[in-house]
């Protein structure tokens, strides 16, 4: 059976449609990882590329029909090269010449967008020789492009991340683009004018991208090293985030998520002791504890010091983070193996939390780390699920809820600081229960810090702020509280100020320091702002960006 020219063009359109959308996703993800503010970066990158595609679609009319197949194949070879190498080039630029990053980024975006804009009009022009009716020609070409775009999106989201890093994915996409160019060059070889030159360019580009694919991880490590002062010892991209560990000359370990520092081993205990122990000093019961976030196991380390804790549920969206916490030596040394006890159970995100927590399958006890008898050992359950979804599905009430989310530095995280989220949290909090949340810096991002407190109050929770200095972060703050019908601000403050002893060992925190954390400087928390954060206004994100950019 003879394969028609139209079929070859449709096949090429399908491949190019998938690659084109995937290029947009890849460049957007690179920009979001490097610059933060993911929703804004995705919107700007995709918007700019679509604009340039429109310009490219218009410019192609200037190309004459003579030698059109040569021009099209040449454009595809160049697109494969730019699309494949672009993300790695951007990573090196950001590390070595950050002042020129935006210029280089939009140079790649513009070039790739222009070349993508050439594709559909040129294919339609080439196919018009075989299908003269415009409506049929355009309909079939656009259909294959849109179907390819869907396939590209699904493969980019679900398949490629299982086997390749983001930089490797770009090289895979470039090679797929070159595969389409190869098909066209083979089929239309009799119509190609510059056959030898195109084959030379094609094979050279395939060699470049193939070599780059095999060297991608080494080159990525070299590029990332420019982004960090200390030596990078781990770099891992997951479905949800990019995780980097560094080690300093003083042997200090730092963990970064999407470029933002999460902890430094030299002072993380100051943060985590402040996060956990004031809540335990307030709580009347300490049997059931919920940690939202905290996949590094450091908050769990502090919680599991208390023999009164019988059940701990830790929810972190990213299973790769808890996997590192359970298996990576540096994490294990810091969290004291808190997530590897014999009584740890793991519920994956496709398994709903049982209505009766006693139904959770327990791993047989092999040893006890936190007590001498099985009933003295806290049962730990790890859940990999969005925290907001977990609060809807999780059964029962918790005596203490510890919220250890990253700062609200994008719209996705902003929802976890909303009034709606705190109402769900209140539903899971026992009548006398206590919750605590890290709340960014009351100095550098004061309005974001205060907005968190207002949003909690709007959810009918009574809260008070406290703060301390963490060398790696500077001035840092938390909010702590409980149900309005049970606690008043005066009750919370008096109970904390009456704390005379901590029942578990600490490296830093003392009762006197807890008392001191409640005091703020004169007018430090004054504000004229009154807005709360909701699921739709993302006000916390606006405050956060303004605060860290301007210092208020």
Strands 429-438 and 474-483, how do they pair? antiparallel
- Mapped onto helix, strand or coil, the DSSP state of residue 312 is strand
Give me the pLDDT at residue 44, please: 93
Contacts (Cβ under 8 Å, ≥6 apart) of 149: 17, 18, 20, 21
Instruction: Please give the Cα distance from 511 to 516 (Å, whole number).
Output: 9
Least confident interval from 11-15, 226-230, 347-351: 347-351
What average pLDDT does the structure give for the chain? 90
Per-residue pLDDT tens over the stretch 430-443: 999 999 999 999 99
Q: Looking at residues 276-290, what average pLDDT do you find?
A: 96
Give me the pLDDT at residue 202, please: 96
Give me the pLDDT at residue 551, please: 54
Instruction: Please give the Cα distance from 537 to 552 (Å, whole number).
Output: 20
Least confident interval from 227-236, 327-336, 344-353: 344-353
**Secondary structure letter of residue 66 according to DSSP:** T
Identify the band that residue 5 occupies on the pLDDT scale cut at 50, 70 and 90: confident
Please determine, for residue 192, whether its predicted confidence score (pLDDT) is greater than 60: yes
User: How crowded is the C-beta side of 172, counted as CA atoms within 13 Å?
Assistant: 16
**What pTM was computed for the model?**
0.83
Identify the band that residue 258 occupies on the pLDDT scale cut at 50, 70 and 90: confident
Least confident interval from 41-45, 61-65, 366-370, 388-392: 366-370
Instruction: Please give the Cα distance from 340 to 332 (Å, whole number).
Output: 9
Per-residue pLDDT tens over the stretch 287-327: 999 999 999 999 999 999 999 999 999 999 999 999 999 99
Work out the number of other CB atoms within 10 angstroms of the CB of residue 535: 12
- Tell me whether domains 5-223 and 266-550 share a fold: no
Please determine, for residue 328, whether its predicted confidence score (pLDDT) is greater than 60: yes
Please determine, for residue 373, whether its predicted confidence score (pLDDT) is greater than 60: no
Please determine, for residue 362, whether its predicted confidence score (pLDDT) is greater than 50: no
Q: Looking at residues 229-240, what average pLDDT do you find?
A: 89
Identify the band that residue 1 occupies on the pLDDT scale cut at 50, 70 and 90: very low
Q: Looking at residues 528-534, what average pLDDT do you find?
A: 94
Count the residues in the chain.
Answer: 552
Strands 311-315 and 379-383, how do they pair? parallel
Per-residue pLDDT tens over the stretch 393-416: 888 899 999 999 999 988 888 999
- Among this protein's residues, is 404 annotated catalytic? yes
**CATH architecture for segment(s) 266-550:** 3-Layer(aba) Sandwich (3.40)
Give me the pLDDT at residue 4, please: 86
Candidate list 404, 427, 432, 519, residue with the active-site label: 404
Give me the pLDDT at residue 376, please: 60
Residue by residue, DSSP assigns 238-284 as -SS-EEEEEE-TT--EEEEETTEEEEETTTHHHHHHHHHHHHHHH-S
Q: Looking at residues 64-74, what average pLDDT do you find?
A: 91
Give me the pLDDT at residue 358, please: 36
Please determine, for residue 222, whether its predicted confidence score (pLDDT) is greater than 50: yes
Give me the pLDDT at residue 263, please: 96
Give me the pLDDT at residue 411, please: 82
Q: Looking at residues 175-188, what average pLDDT do you find?
A: 94
Give me the pLDDT at residue 2, please: 57
**Where are the chain's structural domains?**
5-223, 231-261, 266-550
Instruction: Please give the Cα distance from 134 to 125 (Å, whole number).
Output: 10
Kindly report the CATH class assigned to 5-223: mainly alpha
* Token reading at 186: 């083979």
* Token reading at 166: 């983001």
β-pair partners for 344? 380
**Residue burial 404-427, b: 16+ Cβ < 10 Å; e: rest:** bbbbbbbeebbbbbbbbbbbbbbe
Angle between helices 539-550 and 446-458 (to 10 degrees): 160
Q: Looking at residues 494-504, what average pLDDT do you find?
A: 93
Please determine, for residue 543, whether its predicted confidence score (pLDDT) is greater than 50: yes
Instruction: Please give the Cα distance from 459 to 466 (Å, whole number).
Output: 20
- Mapped onto helix, strand or coil, the DSSP state of residue 462 is strand
* Token reading at 43: 């919107």
The per-type count for the chain, helices as H runs and strands as E runs, is 19, 12
Give me the pLDDT at residue 342, please: 59
Per-residue pLDDT tens over the stretch 107-157: 999 999 999 999 999 999 988 888 878 888 889 999 999 999 999 999 999
């Amino acid at each position: 059976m003879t394969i028609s020219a139209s079929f070859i063009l449709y096949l090429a359109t399908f491949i190019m449609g998938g690659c084109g959308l995937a290029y947009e996703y890849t460049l957007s993800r690179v920009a979001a990882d490097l610059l933060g503010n993911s929703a804004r970066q995705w919107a700007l990158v995709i918007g700019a590329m679509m604009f340039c595609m429109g310009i490219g679609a218009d410019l192609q009319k200037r190309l004459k029909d003579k030698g059109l197949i040569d021009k099209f194949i040449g454009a595809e070879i160049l697109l494969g090269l730019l699309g494949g190498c672009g993300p790695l080039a951007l990573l090196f630029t950001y590390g070595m010449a950050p002042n020129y990053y935006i210029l280089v980024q939009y140079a790649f975006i513009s070039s790739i967008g222009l070349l993508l804009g050439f594709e559909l009009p040129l294919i339609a022009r080439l196919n018009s020789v075989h299908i003269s009716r415009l409506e049929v020609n355009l309909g079939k070409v656009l259909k294959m492009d849109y179907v390819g775009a869907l396939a590209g999106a699904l493969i980019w989201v679900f398949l490629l991340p299982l086997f390749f890093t983001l930089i490797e994915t770009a090289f895979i996409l470039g090679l797929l683009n070159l595969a389409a160019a190869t098909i066209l060059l083979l089929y239309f070889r009799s119509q190609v004018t510059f056959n030898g030159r195109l084959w030379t360019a094609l094979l050279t580009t395939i060699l470049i991208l193939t070599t780059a694919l095999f060297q991608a991880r080494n080159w990525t490590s070299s590029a990332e090293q420019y982004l960090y002062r200390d030596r990078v010892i781990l770099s891992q991209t997951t479905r949800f985030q990019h995780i980097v560990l560094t080690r300093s000359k003083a042997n200090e370990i730092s963990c970064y998520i999407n470029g933002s520092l999460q902890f430094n081993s030299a002072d993380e205990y100051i943060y985590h002791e402040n996060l956990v122990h004031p809540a335990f000093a307030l709580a009347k019961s300490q049997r059931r504890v919920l940690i939202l976030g905290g996949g590094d196991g450091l908050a769990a380390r502090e919680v599991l010091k208390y023999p009164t804790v019988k059940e701990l549920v830790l929810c972190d969206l990213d299973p790769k983070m808890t996997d590192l916490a359970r298996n990576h030596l540096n994490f294990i040394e810091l969290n004291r193996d808190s997530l590897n006890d014999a009584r740890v159970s793991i519920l994956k995100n496709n398994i709903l939390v049982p209505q009766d927590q006693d139904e959770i399958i327990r791993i047989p006890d092999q040893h006890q780390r936190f007590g001498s008898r099985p009933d003295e050992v806290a049962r730990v359950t790890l859940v990999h699920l969005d925290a907001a979804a977990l609060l809807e599905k999780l059964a029962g009430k918790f005596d203490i809820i510890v919220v250890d989310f990253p700062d609200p530095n994008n719209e996705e995280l902003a929802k976890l600081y909303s009034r709606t989220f705190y109402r769900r949290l209140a539903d899971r909090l026992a009548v006398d229960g206590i919750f605590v949340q890290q709340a960014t810096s009351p100095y550098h991002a004061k309005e974001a810090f205060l907005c968190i407190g207002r949003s909690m109050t709007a959810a009918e929770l009574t809260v008070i702020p406290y703060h301390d200095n963490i060398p790696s972060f500077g001035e840092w703050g938390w909010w702590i509280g409980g149900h309005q019908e049970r606690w008043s601000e005066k009750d919370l403050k008096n109970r904390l100020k009456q704390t005379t002893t901590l029942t578990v060992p600490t490296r830093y925190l003392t009762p006197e320091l807890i008392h001191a954390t409640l005091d703020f400087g004169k007018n430090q928390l004054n504000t004229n702002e009154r807005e709360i954060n909701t699921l739709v206004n993302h006000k916390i994100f606006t405050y956060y960006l303004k605060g860290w950019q301007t210092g208020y």
